[in-house]
């Protein structure tokens, strides 16, 4: 009996030791960020990272009581780099079912929409419901609108950033009727749109609003509805590796605290003139 008790104590001790060895204290966190998606994140004229994401992550890291190191990378490399251990978090990651298969998400830190971009005197006529919100999950309302948009875009070329939910949507709704052109970044796509090499773009509405306010983009416009729902990843969160619940919970709490304090509202209005404060289920 004593021998069995001793073995049980040893086993428990080894179990605790193994748990402690595997636990992470998360005093230093590496954050992957694109650095080429204004106003979310960008490299400014002084060569420094700036934007809504940059200001917000500094606040969130303070609330989470961790030191954060921001590391830039191409958009398509961010999730693979996260899962390879180069980063611990990835910013500006829209939540959708496809991404849920490979990463975990914090609660959203911003809630946005997606929009079409066209030339004012270009090849695409004005799309329906300009500037009006449209939820694709409301099928009786949304499906006729998307069918009408599909007719206008038939035979045209639409530019999107590769590996985004915007690309998924265009392929899903219009892939057989349009030519889909993919780009490494939104500004790269906009150059082709302004030059008439593509007929339309599809992107984050926050990005579009910010871009149109800058000199040199006077010939472009947002067209059609402000879209969310379906496969669109308009609820923007931090991505973590699968199973790292302790890190995710730290930032869940930080995001909710920042939202309650009005920080997300202040920073999102500073960078986009839109209040992107998310709502949390159960609140």
Q: What is the pLDDT of residues 42-95, one digit of tens each?
A: 999 999 999 999 999 999 999 999 999 999 999 999 999 999 999 999 999 999
Helix or strand run (H / E) with residue 12? helix 2-22
The tens digit of pLDDT for each residue in 200-231 reads 999 999 999 989 999 999 999 999 999 999 99
DSSP annotation of 75 reads G
Q: In Å, how far are 59, 73, 125 from 262, measured between CA atoms?
A: 12, 30, 40
Give yes or no for residue 27 having a pLDDT over 60: yes
The average confidence (pLDDT) of the chain is 91
* Whole-number pLDDT of residue 223: 97
Rounded Cα distance, 188 and 13, in Å = 57
Over its C-alpha atoms, the chain yields an Rg (Å, rounded) of 22
Q: Which residues pair with 56 in a beta bridge?
A: none
Confidence of residue 281 (pLDDT cuts 50, 70, 90): low
Q: Please compute the mean of the pLDDT values over residues 12-23 and round it to a whole number.
A: 41
Residue keyed to tokens 């993919």: 182
Phi, psi of 63 (to 5 degrees): -65, -35
Work out the angle at residue 159's Cα, subtended by the Cα atoms of residues 48 and 272, and round it to the nearest 5 degrees: 45
* Whole-number pLDDT of residue 96: 87
- Select from 96, 279, 111, 75 the least CA-distant residue to 188: 75
Q: In Å, how far are 6, 7, 9, 90 from 3, measured between CA atoms?
A: 5, 6, 10, 50
Give yes or no for residue 7 having a pLDDT over 50: no
Give yes or no for residue 2 having a pLDDT over 60: no
Work out the angle at residue 110's Cα, subtended by the Cα atoms of residues 108 and 115, and round it to the nearest 5 degrees: 120
Give yes or no for residue 135 having a pLDDT over 70: yes
Rounded Cα distance, 86 and 155, in Å = 41
Percentage above 90 pLDDT, the chain: 84
Confidence of residue 187 (pLDDT cuts 50, 70, 90): very high
Rounded Cα distance, 133 and 38, in Å = 22
- Between helix 186-194 and helix 205-212 the angle, nearest 10°, is 60
Helix or strand run (H / E) with residue 89? strand 89-94
Three-state secondary structure call for residue 121: coil
Looking only at the bridges linking them, the beta strands covering 41-43 and 36-37 are antiparallel
The reported pTM is 0.72
* Whole-number pLDDT of residue 23: 53
Rounded Cα distance, 198 and 190, in Å = 9
* Whole-number pLDDT of residue 105: 98
* Whole-number pLDDT of residue 263: 98
The tens digit of pLDDT for each residue in 229-275 reads 999 988 999 999 999 999 999 999 999 999 999 999 999 999 988 88
* Whole-number pLDDT of residue 77: 95
* Whole-number pLDDT of residue 81: 97
């Amino acid at each position: 009996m004593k021998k069995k008790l001793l073995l049980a104590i040893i086993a428990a001790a080894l179990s605790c030791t193994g748990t402690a060895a595997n636990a992470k204290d998360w005093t230093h966190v590496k954050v992957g960020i694109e650095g080429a998606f204004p106003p979310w994140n960008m490299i400014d004229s002084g060569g420094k990272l700036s934007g809504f994401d940059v200001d917000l992550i500094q606040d969130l890291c303070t609330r989470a009581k961790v030191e954060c190191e921001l590391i830039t990378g191409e958009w398509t490399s961010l999730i693979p780099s996260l899962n390879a251990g180069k980063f611990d978090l990835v910013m500006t990651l829209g939540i959708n079912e496809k991404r849920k298969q490979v990463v975990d998400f914090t609660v959203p830190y911003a809630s946005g929409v997606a929009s079409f971009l066209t030339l004012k005197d270009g090849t695409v006529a004005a799309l329906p419901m300009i500037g009006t919100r449209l939820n694709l999950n409301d099928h009786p309302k949304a499906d006729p609108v998307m069918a009408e948009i599909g007719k206008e875009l038939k035979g045209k070329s639409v530019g999107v950033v590769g590996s985004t939910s915007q690309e998924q949507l265009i392929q899903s709704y219009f892939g057989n009727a349009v030519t889909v052109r993919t780009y490494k970044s939104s500004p790269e796509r906009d150059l082709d749109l302004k030059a008439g090499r593509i007929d339309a773009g599809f992107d984050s509405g926050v990005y579009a609003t910010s871009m149109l306010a800058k000199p040199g983009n006077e010939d472009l416009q947002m067209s059609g509805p402000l879209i969310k729902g379906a496969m669109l990843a308009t609820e923007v969160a931090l991505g973590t590796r699968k199973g790292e619940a302790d890190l995710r919970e730290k930032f869940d709490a930080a995001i909710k605290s920042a939202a309650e304090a009005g920080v997300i509202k202040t920073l999102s209005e500073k960078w986009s003139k839109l209040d992107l404060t998310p709502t949390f289920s159960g609140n």
